[in-house]
Copies of this chain bind each other. A is one copy, B any other.
Amino acid sequence: MSKTALPLSEVYRLLEPGPVVLLTTLWEGRSNVMTMSWHSMMEFEPPLVGCVISDRNHSFGLLRMSNECAINIPTVQMADKVVACGNSSGANLDKFVAFHLTPEPARQISAPLIAECYASLECRVADTGMVERYCLFVLEVIAAWIDPAVRNPQTIHHLGRGKFMVAGETITLQSNMP
């Protein structure tokens, strides 16, 4: 894997800006990829991430059974594949094959990472207490990987109905916050 380990204390810096992510799962030998925008950091360290995954999604069942997933972060170069994953269901399609995504073994979970994504977070389900009411999974990130060659990743951010904002320039201000 061309990615290197990212300290868990830095994970929030990848998810706070709100990128569209690709969630990968595996159960009984079948993997899946789901496009997702409804996520938020919930704790810095260990990093907790809240994700809303509708029970109409094929990934819902895979996550429910396996209690593991990876959050993979794509950039605009992969935008067509990201939308293709969102437009289809893993119930009747192997999206890795159909959309030429390269599965990459994770270190601590069985679900595959996506090689084409510049960062991947290995997660275990930490709390299912809000799944029934809100389809909200609390995930703990247990390992994080990032491609050190990607400096200012052009993440994509969903604006609805196929419109995405692409990450633009960065600015730095004097902040006391983490």
Interface residues, chain A, CB within 8 Å of chain B? 10, 12-13, 16-19, 35, 37-43, 48, 50-52, 76, 79-80, 83, 86-87, 130, 134, 136, 138, 152, 154-178
Contacts and interface: CB of A to CB of B under 8 A. Distances in A.
B134 A162 contact: no
Nearest to A134: B42
B166 A170 contact: yes
A173 B50 contact: no
Nearest to A18: B18
Copies of the protein in its oligomer? 2
Contacts of A37: 16-17, 41
B164 A170 contact: yes
Nearest to A162: B175
A166 B164 contact: no
Given A40-B38, A86-B175, A13 B160 contact: yes
Contacts of A42: 38, 52, 134, 136
Nearest to A40: B40
